[in-house]
Chains A and B, each alone.
Chain A
Amino acid sequence: MAYPGGYGAAPGGHATLQQDPLYGYFSAVAGQDGQISADELQRCLTQSGISGTYKPFSMETCRLMVSMLDRDLSNSLGFNEFKELWQVLNGWKSTFMSYDRDRSGTVEGNELQHALNSMGFNLSPQAMNIVMKRHSCEGRIAFDDFVGCCTKLRALTDQFRRRDQRQTGAATFQYDDFIQVTMSI
């Protein structure tokens, strides 16, 4: 008889793919082709209620997230990529919630600065202004826009670091490379 809630996996062993509780969810969202596109991701995140509001999850953010995690350039997420996304999202959700003190589903500008600092992004006030201008609405930022902003920052920071191997704080870009790298975010 299976243990309640258990499937008889060897103690300490990895659950197989099918035993991973997230896999069922992934399959349902991914459908026939076994891959999650940005559209499917948006539907899934909207239904999950993770943003804490009734508005549809930002499509732009979904596209950014698929782009960030899409390792095989398929423009969609396989299971491992989806799993990584889920973990990252939950982490960001915790951070966000710790700053959304009034549970409005939005965070204020200055709280965003603290939130980003706590995630390791050290932005000057000028850079923060640019971020806020782009992602906030009336000085407040909703969860899906927050995710979009973090995703972009993560991707841009990675691109920068790759061109500043010696960590001098200055990166060099050639024009064609600059265009492609920046547009690929």
Chain B
Amino acid sequence: MAYHSPYRAPPPNNVAQDQTFLWNIFQRVDKDRSGVISDSELQQALSNGTWTPFNPVTVRSVISMFDRENKGGVNFSEFGGVWKYVTDWQNIFRNYDRDNSGFIDKNELKLALTGFGYRLSDQFYNTLIEKFDRQRKGQVAFDDFVQCCIVLQRLTDVFRRYDTDQDGWIQVSYEQYLSMVFNIV
């Protein structure tokens, strides 16, 4: 099952990042030169392959993951993590976009999520695509794919926290259930 599988975030890359390379990128993205890349600056720098703006919810998710100071953006040191995270997701996306359409269709999504260790019904994939596909194509673009995986991961993390004996079952009160999921879905 997904949270017993080795899949978590993409595995750590041991090659030291070229700081100059990263700094050049950072400066280009940090348009107002504030030293912090905001949600909107990151959104403008990212592409989802559709010529429409990158999903702002995904942008927010990513920034909040790396923003250690709750300042609503990332500084240069945090940006290294963001860059790597996005690049790793781009590689994953390209890997599963078997027909190179720039979109992940239902079957490709099934392969991806099953590969990550999730066991989900066929019907549920329809639900996932309906829920995350902002382009209304019946397939997910890069930004929506990432958001879908982020939400699945969040649910997995919260489930894990309650599954103290790690048997894949939890027992929760109504209040606990609400507090677990209300902010994720």
Contacts and interface: CB of A to CB of B under 8 A. Distances in A.
Interface string B111-129: 0000000111101101110
A127 B179 contact: yes
B131 A63 contact: yes
Contacts of B123: 73
A179 B101 CA distance: 28
B185 interface: yes
B178 interface: yes
Interface centre among B3, B124, B177 (most CB of A within 10 A): B177
Contacts of A98: none
A178 B175 contact: no
B182 A183 contact: no
Interface in B140-185: 151-152, 155-156, 159, 163, 168-175, 177-179, 181-185
Contacts of B3: 175
Nearest to B119: A176
Interface residues of B, number: 37
A182 B155 CA distance: 8
B148 to A, nearest CB: 9
Interface stretch (A3-11, A47-55, A85-93, A129-137): A129-137
Binding site secondary structure of chain B: helix
B178 A156 contact: yes
A18 interface: no
Contact of A134 (B127, B159, B182): B182
Given A156-B178, A175-B3, A175-B163, A170 B155 contact: no
Interface of A: 39, 63, 73, 75, 123-124, 126-127, 130-131, 133-134, 152-153, 156-157, 160, 164, 169-176, 178-180, 182-185
Given A39-B136, A173-B159, A175-B168, 8 more contacts: A130-B183, A134-B182, A156-B177, A169-B174, A171-B174, A173-B169, A178-B159, A179-B118
16 contacts: A75-B130, A123-B175, A130-B183, A131-B182, A134-B183, A157-B174, A173-B169, A175-B2, A175-B3, A175-B159, A175-B163, A176-B1, A178-B155, A180-B124, A183-B124, A183-B185
